[in-house]
Each structure stands twice: as structure tokens, then as C-alpha cells.
Structure 1
Amino acid sequence: MIRTILFPNQKNMLVWANALFLLALLLMQQIDALTVVFAYFLETIVIGVIHIVKLWMVSSEGKVPQSEKGFQLRGIPLILFFMMHYGMFVAIQSIFAFTLFEAAVPEITNSFAILDNYAYVLSVPGMSVVLASLIVTNLGYFYTNFWKNQQYKQYTPGAILMKPYVRIFVQQFVVILAFFFYLLFSAGTIAAVLLIVFRLLIDLAVVALHKDSDVLDTLAKKFANSPEAYEEMKRKYQEFSE
């Protein structure tokens, strides 16, 4: 199973390509460590924008909510609600991140000046290339794992609403860990390499849980104690890959 998860294949080739591309840029000194760290924070916004598209698709063609609780949000009202609470999450995360960056980046002097700080982050040399690679990777994964296989037809709008947060929390933990390496040991390149490798391992594990994968089937069989539980476990594990 480990071989299936880690070795390059058709499902994870975008993940591998992006990681190798970033490592090549870093080792050839085309970008610096902070560019990588900043880019992964910006990816949070990319994930949120793509999730808005997912919510629209599920609201239009997904399952109809069956609930005794009455009316449930869908379509534009649900998207606006998501934008509100996700925007608050990004704002709080940004303030925390920029507070960390103040110690290492002279251009960041006020962690609450979010727009000014993001303007600086976007102007960092090499950021456009790195951010473009992350956008392409996320769009490719969205197409293959959600659109192409019509996975959006398997969800109600409410069921998919909170899906980005698990991935975001894991991602930010890894980014913050790498940033502490950067601050404590003044080992910028090492911290960036660790960040890219950690993210690669996490993304490979997530991609391996795609629909009908051997890894998904093996995990479900291992932890299920009945046929009904097996199907439920498959569904829950697969949700981590959305």
C-alpha cells in the first residue's frame, strides 16, 4: 500500500510535478524559502475559490437535502455564507501568519494591515511562478477528482460545505512548523525543503484516497466490522480527498 501511495502514477502526477518544480526552483536559487512559505499560505485562498465552484456545482446538480430541520441553504445564499465564514478564517489566519513574518520580513510592520501585507507578498520575486504552479495543481486535482468523475452528484450542498477546513488545518500546521525551523535555525532552504516534502507526503496520501482506489478499499476493509460499515468507511475516507 505504501508503494501505491508514494510512487508516481497517473493519479498523483500533478502532485509530484509541482513538488519537483518547486524544489528545482529553490535549489537553483530562483526563489527563496519565504516565497515558498508565503505561497502555501496564499494557497488557502485558491482552495477557497475552487470550493465556491464546487458548492455551485453541488447546489445545481448534487443530491437534494433530506432533512426534518426545514429549509437548508443552497446556491447563492450558501455560497455567500461560505464566503463570509471562510473569509473570516482567512483573515484571522493571515493576521497570525503576518505576526510571525514580522520577525523575519522588514516590509511587514503591522500584522493587521492585511491588504498591504498581501500586496507585498504578491510582489515577492518568483511568487507569480510558484503561485501559478499551485493554482494549476489545484485546478487539475479539482478536474480529475471532482468534475470528471461527477463526484459533485454524490453530495448535498450542506455535506460539502466544511470540506476545505480539514485540508487547510493540516496545511497550516505544516507551514507553521516549517516557519519555526526558519526562525529558530536560520536554515531557510532546509525549512522550505522540509515544507515541500511534508506537503508532498500529505498530498500523496490524500490523492491515494480517490474513488475506487485500492488504498481506499484496503483502509475501509481494515477498519470496518460489517458490510454496512465498510461502505460507510469508504465514503468517509474518500471525503478526505475532496
Structure 2
Amino acid sequence: MLKGVFFPNKTNSYAWANVFFLIVLVAIGKIDAYAVLFGYFLETLIVGLFNIVKMYYCYKYNDKTSNITFSIIFFIIHYGGFVAIQSIFVFAIFALGGSSFIKEPFHILENFQIVIRLDGMPIIITMLFITQFVKFIFDFMRPKKYEKFKVNDIMFKPYLRIFIQQFTVIIGSFFIIFSSGSVLTAMLLILIRFIVDFFIVAINENSTVLNYIVDKLYDGKVDKSEIRKQLLLLTE
């Protein structure tokens, strides 16, 4: 199964490219450790943006009875609240750790303006946006997942992925604070994200990894097609 997760293929090629370029850019000093950490954190907003687009496509092709305007507004409110709370928590870690650039965790907008100006941040945000865009095209649009899922199916699905992502960021925060933003710590953070991302990417339609997990979870009570659908939703 691990070969199906990490071995380079068409499905995970964009993830491999992302990891490769990040490591190179960190190694040559174009991106510092803080930019890597907060870049991954800001990716939460990019994921939310693409999730809104997914919701709209599900409405357009498979769920015309939904109130898409209400659903999108509701998603923006609860997802935005989630991001705000997570932001305060991460900023608090840096403030308590004696950060030279984050002083007050509750000044969310001011702190984001500071984060955006970190060395290499425009590069990493561009890379992460391109990665999510490629994933959206090849993992959602081309397989026509919008014909399989309802608006409400998609609405709450970023949370598992984002929870894992934010947990990685929080753990990485402690390493970066104690190492004063070393290159080695940035590499470690990229490696952790590499492992998480590749497991998520590997769970796609008709993949050996998905089939393996479905077979392991199948107990005869729930149809395999439903297990498959829920696993695919969890990786959106």
C-alpha cells in the first residue's frame, strides 16, 4: 500500500513538484521557516475558496433544490470563524514564545498583514494556490465529482483535512520557535506535510489505496460504495 502512497504517479505528481520546489527554495534561502509555517496556515483560506467553487458546481449539476446563496454565506461564516479561532491560537503561541513580529494574538488582521510580508511568502502562497488549483481540476472537475455529491456533502468536508493541517502547523510552531526559524525545522515541517498530503492524495477514485482501506473497513453492514463515497468526501 505504501508504494501506492509515495511512488510518483500522475495523481500525486503535483504534490511531488510542490515538495521539491519548496525544499529547493528553502535550501537556497528564498523562503524562510516562518514563511513555510504560515504559508501552510494561509493555505486554509485557499482550501476554503475552492470549497465554495465545489459547492457551486454540486448545486449546478446535482443539487438544484439547495439554496446555494444561503449555503455559501453560511459556509463563509462558520469556516471564517474556525479560521479566526485557529489564527488566534497560532498567533498566541508565537506571542508567548517571544516572537519579534507577533505581539498581540487578537490583532488578527494586523498579524496577517505582517505574515504576508515575510520573506518568500508571495512565492509559497503562489505555489500552494497552484497546487490546490491543479488538485481541483484533476481530483474534482475531471472525475466529475460534482455529479456525485450534494452541496451539504461538500460544505463541511474541508474540516478533517484542515484539522490535520492546523495540527501540523501548531506542532511546527513549537519547533520553529525553539529553533529560531532554522532551515532544518522548515525541512522537517515540509516532510511532515509531505507525509500527510500524500496519504490524502492517494485516496482517490479507483486507487489501490482506496480499495485497500474500503476492504479493511467493510464489515458487511454498510455497502462498500457508501464507504468509498465517505472516504472520498473526507479527502476533499
- Answer with 231-240 or 140-149: which moved more: 231-240
Provide the alpha-carbon RMSD of the alignment. Answer: 1.7
The answer to whether the 8 Å contact 2:54/2:146 transfers is yes
Aligned residue among 90, 93, 97 for 2:86: 93
Aligned residue among 147, 153, 156 for 1:153: 147
The answer to whether the 8 Å contact 2:172/2:189 transfers is yes
Aligned residue among 173, 176, 181 for 1:182: 176
Q: Which residue in 1 is equivalent to 2:33? A: 33
Q: Which runs of 5+ in 2 are unaligned?
A: none
Q: Does 1:82 align with 2:75?
A: yes
Query: Does 1 or 2 have the higher relative contact order (CA < 8 Å, sep 6+)?
Result: 2
Query: What secondary structure, in the 3-state scheme, does the structure 2 residue paired with 1:9 have?
Result: coil
Work out the CA distance in 2 between the residues paired with 1:233 and 1:55: 21
Q: Which residue in 2 is equivalent to 1:21? A: 21
Q: How does 1:138-149 map to 2 (within 5 A)?
A: 138-149=132-143
Q: Which residue in 2 is equivalent to 1:238? A: 232
Q: Which residue in 2 is equivalent to 1:54? A: 54
Work out the CA distance in 2 between the residues paired with 1:54 and 1:74: 15
Q: Residues 228 and 101 from structure 1, CA distance in 2 versus in 1: closer, same or farther, beyond 3 angstroms? A: closer
Query: What secondary structure, in the 3-state scheme, does the structure 1 residue paired with 2:223 have?
Result: helix
Q: CA deviation at 1:187?
A: 6.0
Aligned residue among 136, 142, 166 for 2:130: 136
- The one-letter code matched in structure 1 to 2:112 is Y
Query: What secondary structure, in the 3-state scheme, does the structure 2 residue paired with 1:203 have?
Result: helix
What do the CA deviations read for 1:61-85 (whole angstroms, capped 9, x no partner)? 12467xxxxxxx5311100000011
Q: CA deviation at 1:190?
A: 2.4
TM-score (norm 1): 0.91
TM-score (norm 2): 0.94
What do the CA deviations read for 1:198-239 (whole angstroms, capped 9, x no partner)? 111111111111111111112212221339532222222222
Work out the CA distance in 1 between the residues paired with 2:93 and 2:183: 18
What do the CA deviations read for 1:174-201 (whole angstroms, capped 9, x no partner)? 1111111122344622221111111111
Q: Which residue in 2 is equivalent to 1:8? A: 8
Q: Which residue in 2 is equivalent to 1:110? A: 104
Work out the CA distance in 2 between the residues paired with 1:122 and 1:184: 22
Q: Percent identity?
A: 35
Work out the CA distance in 1 between the residues paired with 2:197 and 2:103: 33
- The one-letter code matched in structure 1 to 2:31 is I
Q: CA deviation at 1:106?
A: 1.8
